[in-house]
Amino acid sequence: MPTTIAEKPSAEVPAGAALETLKITDSRTGKSYEIPIEHGTVKAIDLRQIKTGPEDFGLMTYDPAFMNTASCRSKITFIDGEKGILLYRGYPIDQLAEKCSYLQVAYLILYGELPTVTQLHEWTEHVRMHTFVHENVKRLMDGFRYDAHPMGIFVSTLAALSTFYPEAKNVLDADTRQKQVWRLIGKVPTIAAFAYRHSLGMPYVYPDNDLTYAENFLSMMFRVAESKYRPNRVLARALEVLFILHADHEQNCSTNAMRSIGSSQSDPYCSAAGAAAALYGPLHGGANEAVLRMLDEIGSKANVPAFVRDVKEGKGRLMGFGHRVYKNYDPRAKIIKRMADEVFAETEKNPKLEIALELERIALEDEYFVKRKLYPNVDFYSGLIYQAMKFPVDMFPVMFAIPRMSGWLAQWEEMLMSPEQKIARPRQMYLGAQRRNVPA
């Protein structure tokens, strides 16, 4: 007779519905078990009772890099990687990119519904009220060397904010959490722009709250001596769309870092600094920077076939291609590719576009990439657009972090409010030396 491991079906299984189960026979003991299946998953903890004897710790799952492990229940973002679908709170990314502002989408991601006119007005006011940073934050940023990478400055400054708002550590208090959300969404463009201005040795430009979120960021980045910065409408809208496309992406590396650090009840500034640090790597938010460096290295359209050959021989990767989840065209890349034409009509055409298009054409026909389902991801074209808009390559990961803050904070809130959540603490397979004595 199978031993039923879970004593009762989950409360989420509707009354009267047949309980789906997984039957397991342990060949070591001959015992059988029946484990509930819920939403296509089994609980790893249900396996713990599968033991060879009383001394046995119990069966664990082994899943380096979380290739097949759901770490949480979430209602924020849905991805179907096979079909190339991305939904925020149920809304398709292309509709949001076409019809909404970034602040509307940030509200949706954080609170679950698109804001009404009144809610949007209040939300925008709250964010605007928090765009300025303390003068000591500015002085802290001054202390970095002239050639410091802006992402290093950004990560450090986020962590430093924790010392300016010590009450933020009361993470179980809803009002306190809400205030930090306004602060973080309001301040990240300011910190990002100050990091850039620092690298140029140019005076910091204070926020202009008459402008939209994206326009204000452009003003803080690029304003020189104008009494009023007048952003290019097409470029400001393109930036807004890029912010929308980057706002959340379910349990990616940096979001997992946010949840993991936040699970110890660290304050949101330290948690977000950790998430931003995870985003910095070339396999994640640093990828669009890596794409441009790759395009520079290729140099011309004629060199593309040789480069693709090298990639196939294992001499490096085609940056901006491939994704852990998307095994079809990344829906964000489709939107960006369309937008690139609008941006290049306003700016000089980026000469690297020709190389990128040729690279994409060859790779999409090549069996190596087709077989492995490697398609352009969001980073393949975003770097070209940012560069055409005069953002330096070093700023690319920072540009990603600005809108991703809304996703990190929504996921952090969801994690803290989950009745199931405990401090994140994986197990290991210990394969090292057995106990031994230090020689006398």
The amino acid present at 187, given as its one-letter code, is: K
Kindly state the smallest distance separating residue 30's Cβ from ligand ACO, in Å. 36
User: Which is nearer to ligand ACO, 171 or 374 (by Cβ)?
Assistant: 374
Kindly state the smallest distance separating residue 320's Cβ from ligand ACO, in Å. 5
Task: Check binding of 47 to ligand ACO (CB under 6 A).
Answer: no
Kindly state the smallest distance separating residue 259's Cβ from ligand ACO, in Å. 17
Kindly state the smallest distance separating residue 315's Cβ from ligand ACO, in Å. 10
Catalytic residue (choose from 80, 284, 366, 394): 284
- Considering only residues 239 to 298 of the shown chain, the ones binding ligand ACO according to CB under 6 A are 283-284, 287
What Rg value do the Cα atoms of the chain yield, rounded? 24
Task: Check binding of 121 to ligand ACO (CB under 6 A).
Answer: no
Query: Other CB atoms closer than 10 Å to residue 350's CB: what's the count?
Result: 22
Residue 198 bears catalytic tag? no
User: Which is nearer to ligand ACO, 228 or 315 (by Cβ)?
Assistant: 315
User: Which is nearer to ligand ACO, 231 or 286 (by Cβ)?
Assistant: 286
Nearest one of 64, 206, 79, 233 to 135, comparing CA atoms: 206
Kindly state the smallest distance separating residue 271's Cβ from ligand ACO, in Å. 19
What is the three-state SS of the chain?
CCEECCCCCCCCCCCCCCCCEEEEECCCCCCEEEEECECCECCHHHHHHCCCCCCCCCCCCCCHHHCCCCCCCCCCEEEECCCCEEEECCEEHHHHHHHCCHHHHHHHHHHCCCCCHHHHHHHHHHHHHCCCCCHHHHHHHHCCCCCCCHHHHHHHHHHHHHHHCHHHHCCCCHHHHHHHHHHHHHHHHHHHHHHHHHHHCCCCCCCCCCCCHHHHHHHHHHCCCCCCCCCCHHHHHHHHHHHHHCCCCCCCHHHHHHHHHHCCCCCHHHHHHHHHHHHCCCCCCCHHHHHHHHHHHHCCHHHHHHHHHHHHCCCCCCCCECCCCCCCCCHHHHHHHHHHHHHHHHCCCCCHHHHHHHHHHHHHHCHHHHHCCCCECCHHHHHHHHHHCCCCHHHHHHHHHHHHHHHHHHHHHHHHHCCCCCCCCCCCCCCCCCCCCCCC
User: Which is nearer to ligand ACO, 318 or 355 (by Cβ)?
Assistant: 318
String marking each residue 341-380 x if it binds ligand ACO according to CB under 6 A: -------------------------------x-x--xxx-
Kindly state the smallest distance separating residue 9's Cβ from ligand ACO, in Å. 34
Kindly state the smallest distance separating residue 334's Cβ from ligand ACO, in Å. 14
Give the residue, chosen from 36, 150, 231, 320, that forms a contact with ligand ACO under the rule CB under 6 A.
Answer: 320
Catalytic residue (choose from 248, 267, 330, 379): 379
Q: Cα(425)–Cα(195) distance, rounded to whole angstroms?
A: 34
User: Which is nearer to ligand ACO, 318 or 339 (by Cβ)?
Assistant: 318
Catalytic residue (choose from 198, 246, 323, 330): 323
- Considering only residues 287 to 316 of the shown chain, the ones binding ligand ACO according to CB under 6 A are 287, 311
Task: Check binding of 321 to ligand ACO (CB under 6 A).
Answer: yes
Q: Count of residues binding ligand ACO (CB under 6 A)?
A: 17
- Considering only residues 323 to 342 of the shown chain, the ones binding ligand ACO according to CB under 6 A are 323-324
User: Which is nearer to ligand ACO, 22 or 283 (by Cβ)?
Assistant: 283
Kindly state the smallest distance separating residue 195's Cβ from ligand ACO, in Å. 20
Residue 246 bears catalytic tag? no
Residue 121 bears catalytic tag? no
Kindly give, in sequence order, each residue whose CB lies less than 8 Å from that of residue 380, ignoring residues fewer than 6 positions away: 288, 291, 320, 321, 333, 356, 360
Residues with active-site annotation? 284, 323, 379
Binding site for ligand ACO (CB under 6 A): 283-284, 287, 311, 317-324, 372, 374, 377-379
